[in-house]
Structure 1
Amino acid sequence: MDKLIVQDAPRTPERVPFRRIVQERGELALIEDGPVFNHLACFTLKPGAGFFRGGHVHRSKVEHFYVLSGRGVLKWSDPATGQKGSEELRAGHKVTILPGLAHRFEALEELAVVEYYEGLHDPDDDSPYHDFG
């Protein structure tokens, strides 16, 4: 799928632009180092029938997400091609969703996720989407 990028943050103390340092005292995650963004949010999601975040597609927005904790599933669908799929996500995964890919998050265990993107929220760019298969 060329509209979805999932990266696993390497656990390393080395100075690289995307990494996790997991220590007894806690964790430091360097999610981005350089790109400009205007929107920053955090959401949590509990497992349960009918519980999800998302369920839409964007015409022009590129969204980025970083999973702080928990496990979940990102369901995706490309309305232009009919392709559908899912990616299991866990703490340390960074996700980039390009325009035209419908998406929604579901929790396997309680999730905490950071969401960020360039530009301001534009409700006219969001179209509801329900067919995730």
Structure 2
Amino acid sequence: MTAFHAPWPEDLVLVDDPAGLDHVRSIAPTSIANEVGTWSLEYLGPGFHVQLRIARRQRQVRVDGWMSPAQPIKVFLTSLLRHPVVLEAQVSDSGRFEFPTAPNGACRMSFVLPTPGRPPATPPFWI
């Protein structure tokens, strides 16, 4: 298992499993709006692990996530558009969070930890 390093040390790191790349979606932005299916992303953060499942059915997109160990924190999903859309979710006691209706296009997820400083965030990814 290898990892790609994010631009800042406090950012989450995308975990890359070469055997699992068959299920990773294309990042070509022009084809994403027409794609349907389910994709998974996995990140390592400072003291936690996050798994995301992105599901697209027609033009509706849903993002489900699991954080381990579970921490009762807020998670923000932010689109990287000219006029960003910012969605907020709460991590449950079991570590689950969800965005039933997610924005399309490039996004980034940030995790507001109880420690001071800038919240760790994922590198940009396409929804």
Q: Does the pair score TM above 0.5?
A: no
TM-score for both structures, normalised by structure 2: 0.31
Whose radius of gyration is greater, 1 or 2? 1
TM-score for both structures, normalised by structure 1: 0.30
Structure with the bigger RCO (C-alpha within 8 Å, sep 6+) is 1
